[in-house]
Amino acid sequence: MRFEQFGDTVAMVHTADPPSDEEWDAYLASQRAHWSARVLVFTEGGGPTTLQRGRLNDALAGRIVKTAVVSSSAVIRGIVTALSWFNPGIKSFLPNEASAALRYLGVAVEDQAGLMQKVTRLSKELKAGGLRCVVWPEQSSSRL
């Protein structure tokens, strides 16, 4: 798992494996220091474990954080459903719906390319060539 702040949005990417407790706790610590307005997640199928989801719900303490989770995994859609019981601002999207995910989050059009460049970079840090779930139509016309 990798994450990085981009303005008031957290960009996060996951492989098919769940994050380690160290990775997840680092994310929660960063959020406790400054809650982001929104979170954009791309995942190959990995997501927080049951215990990690519990720690997230405790940290949220009733906050609603608008979150878009982009994945083709049915397991991830189930995790999103479970998380939505405590954070109704979370919603899942398929990889070909990245533009819809950005619109859902309210990311300004002029910020979308920069945010997706960050997502692509984080993705390539996790896996050579990047994660398959990171699909952005504008990639072919920009230098990512």
Q: How many residues does this entry show for the chain?
A: 144
pLDDT at 143: 40
Residues 18-75: tens digit of each pLDDT? 999 999 999 999 998 888 889 999 999 999 999 999 999 999 999 999 999 999 999 9
Strands 66-70 and 90-93: parallel
Sheet holding 66-70, edge to edge: 2-6, 9-14, 38-43, 66-70, 90-93
Which domains does the chain show, CATH number per domain? 2-141 (3.30.750)
pTM: 0.91
